[in-house]
C-alpha cells in the first residue's frame, strides 16, 4: 500500500448489460434520427414525411431494426410485391429503413450491443434491395399540351372573377401557374416564402427555391429559377392583391389560417379543380406532370437541356432527358445538342399569356 492507494489483484469486474425496453429505445433513436434531418436543413414537411414512412416500415417488420435479418427483408419485400406495391414505392420504403439502420450503426451501435447483445449488420444486400426501375423509365403518357394548359388556366382565371372566395381562387391560379412555368415540385412550392421572390434579379425576376430536393441524405439543394412567360406579373398581382387577403405569415401560398399548404393539399386541390372543370380523365394531370410539361414545352421552343436541368434542380442531365417527352427527343435526334450556357434565356421568347 502506498498512501491512500491500494493495489487490487485480479481482473476488472464485469459490467452487466444495460436494461432497456426495445420499443422505447427504438422510438428514442427514431426521434434522434429525425433531429439529424433537421440539423442537415431539411424542411419540416420532409422530416415529417420521412418519419411517417419509417414508422410504417418498422411496424411492418414487427421487431426492432437491429433484430431485422436478411430473411425478414426478403419476406416483407416479397409480400409488398405480391400485394402489387410498385417497385418505386418498395425502393422508397427500403431506403427509409436503410438510412435509419446506417444512423444506428454510426451513432448507437455501442448502446445496442450493451443493452441487447446485438452487433449491427445491415440486412440489405444486392439480393433483396429493390431495383431502381421506375424513375429510369419514360412517362407512360405525354404531358398536357400548351393548348390544354391554356384552357385549364383560363378556367382558373374565370374562377377568380366568379368564386365566392376571391383569395382562394387567386391563390390557386398563381400556385399552379408557378408549378408549371417554374417547374417546381409541389413541396418546393409549398415551402416558398414571400421573401423568396426577387423581382429585380435578372431580366425576368427569379424565385429562390431554398428547399430544393437534394441527393439522398445530402440536405436541401437551393437554386434560382427565372420567372418566365409573365410569371413575374402573375406573382406581383398575387402578392399585391391576393396574398394580402390572407392572415399575415411568411408563407407565400398559405391556407385560410395563414399556415403553409402541405404538398398533399397541392395535389388534392388540383384534382378537385380538374373535377370542377369537368374534362374527361384523359385530360387530367398532377402537379408532377406539370414539371414534365415545363421541361417538354421549354425544350420544344429551343431552351437547351442544361438550362432545363438547372431550372428543375436535377443532379443528372439524364434525369432531365426522361422528363422531356420521348417523342420530342426523338424528333430532335437521340443525342440532342446541349448548349453549355448558364440559363439559355437569351433566345427564349416571353409567351403572350395574360397575367390575370
Q: Where are the domains of the chain?
A: 22-136, 146-332
Residues in the chain: 356
Residue 297 catalytic? Answer: no
DSSP type of residue 251: B
**Active-site pick, 291, 292, 297, 322:** 291
**Active-site pick, 159, 292, 314, 322:** 314
Across the chain, which has 356 residues, the per-10-residue mean pLDDT values are 50 48 92 89 83 91 92 89 84 88 90 89 76 44 90 94 91 96 93 95 93 66 92 96 93 92 91 93 92 92 89 85 67 44 37 38
**Active-site pick, 198, 267, 284, 288:** 288
Residue 288 catalytic? Answer: yes
Report pLDDT for 345: 39
How far CA 96 is from CA of 50, 59, 183, 218, 235, in Å, comes to 7, 13, 26, 14, 36
Give the span between the Cα atoms of 19 and 1, in whole angstroms: 37
Give the span between the Cα atoms of 322 and 329, in whole angstroms: 9
Closest-CA residue to 28 (of 96, 104, 83, 124): 104
Report pLDDT for 215: 53
pLDDT tens readout for residues 260-312: 998 889 999 999 999 999 988 889 999 999 999 999 999 988 888 889 999 99
Residue 210 catalytic? Answer: no
**Continuous segment of H or E residues that includes residue 207:** strand 206-209
With H, G, I as helix, E, B as strand and everything else as coil, classify residue 225.
strand
Question: Of 2.60.120.10, 1.10.443.10, 1.10.10.60, 1.10.630.10, which CATH number belongs to 146-332?
Answer: 1.10.443.10
| DSSP secondary structure letters along 177-204 | HHHHHH---HHHHHH-BGGGEETTSTTT
**Active-site pick, 108, 177, 181, 185:** 185
Q: Name the pTM for this structure.
A: 0.59
Residue 180 catalytic? Answer: no
Report pLDDT for 214: 60
Sign of the torsion angle spanned by Cα atoms 330, 332, 336, 341: negative
Residue 314 catalytic? Answer: yes
With H, G, I as helix, E, B as strand and everything else as coil, classify residue 292.
helix
**334 near 289, Cβ under 8 Å?**
no
Report pLDDT for 338: 39
**186 near 208, Cβ under 8 Å?**
no
Other C-beta atoms closer than 10 Å to the C-beta of 351 total 13
Report pLDDT for 347: 35
> Which cell numbers in the block locate residue 2?
502506498
Report pLDDT for 351: 33
**Active-site pick, 210, 213, 236, 279:** 213
Residue 9 catalytic? Answer: no
Rg of the chain in Å (alpha carbons):
26
Amino acid at each position: 500500500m502506498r498512501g491512500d492507494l491500494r493495489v487490487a489483484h485480479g481482473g476488472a469486474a464485469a459490467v452487466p448489460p444495460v436494461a432497456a425496453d426495445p420499443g422505447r429505445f427504438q422510438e428514442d433513436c427514431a426521434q434522434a434520427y429525425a433531429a439529424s434531418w433537421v440539423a442537415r436543413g431539411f424542411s419540416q414537411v420532409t422530416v415529417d414525411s420521412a418519419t411517417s414512412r419509417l414508422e410504417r416500415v418498422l411496424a411492418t417488420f414487427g421487431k426492432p431494426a437491429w433484430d431485422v435479418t436478411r430473411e425478414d427483408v426478403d419476406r416483407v419485400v416479397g409480400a409488398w410485391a405480391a400485394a402489387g406495391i410498385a417497385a418505386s414505392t418498395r425502393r422508397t420504403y427500403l431506403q427509409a429503413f436503410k438510412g435509419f439502420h446506417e444512423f444506428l450503426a454510426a451513432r448507437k451501435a455501442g448502446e445496442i450491443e450493451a443493452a441487447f447483445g446485438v452487433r449491427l449488420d445491415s440486412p440489405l444486400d444486392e439480393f433483396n434491395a429493390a431495383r431502381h426501375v421506375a424513375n429510369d423509365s419514360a412517362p407512360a403518357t405525354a404531358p398536357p399540351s400548351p393548348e390544354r394548359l391554356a384552357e385549364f388556366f383560363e378556367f382558373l382565371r374565370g374562377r377568380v372573377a366568379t368564386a365566392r372566395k376571391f383569395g382562394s381562387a387567386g391563390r390557386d391560379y398563381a400556385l399552379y401557374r408557378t408549378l408549371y412555368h417554374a417547374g417546381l415540385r409541389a413541396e418546393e412550392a409549398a415551402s416558398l416564402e414571400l421573401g423568396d421572390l426577387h423581382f429585380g434579379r435578372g431580366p425576368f425576376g427569379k424565385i429562390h427555391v431554398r428547399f430544393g430536393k437534394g441527393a439522398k441524405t445530402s440536405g436541401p439543394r437551393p437554386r434560382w429559377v427565372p420567372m418566365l412567360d409573365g410569371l413575374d406579373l402573375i406573382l406581383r398581382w398575387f402578392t399585391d392583391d391576393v396574398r394580402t387577403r390572407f392572415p399575415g405569415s411568411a408563407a407565400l401560398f398559405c391556407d385560410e389560417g395563414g399556415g403553409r399548404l402541405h404538398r398533399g393539399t397541392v395535389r388534392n386541390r388540383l384534382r378537385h379543380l380538374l373535377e370542377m372543370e369537368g374534362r374527361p380523365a384523359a385530360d387530367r394531370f398532377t402537379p408532377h406532370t406539370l414539371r414534365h410539361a415545363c421541361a417538354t414545352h421549354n425544350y420544344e421552343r429551343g431552351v437547351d437541356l442544361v438550362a432545363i436541368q438547372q431550372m428543375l434542380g436535377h443532379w443528372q442531365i439524364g434525369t432531365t432527358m426522361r422528363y422531356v417527352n420521348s417523342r420530342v427527343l426523338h424528333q430532335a435526334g437521340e443525342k440532342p445538342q446541349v448548349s453549355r450556357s448558364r440559363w439559355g434565356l437569351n433566345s427564349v421568347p416571353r409567351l403572350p399569356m395574360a397575367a390575370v
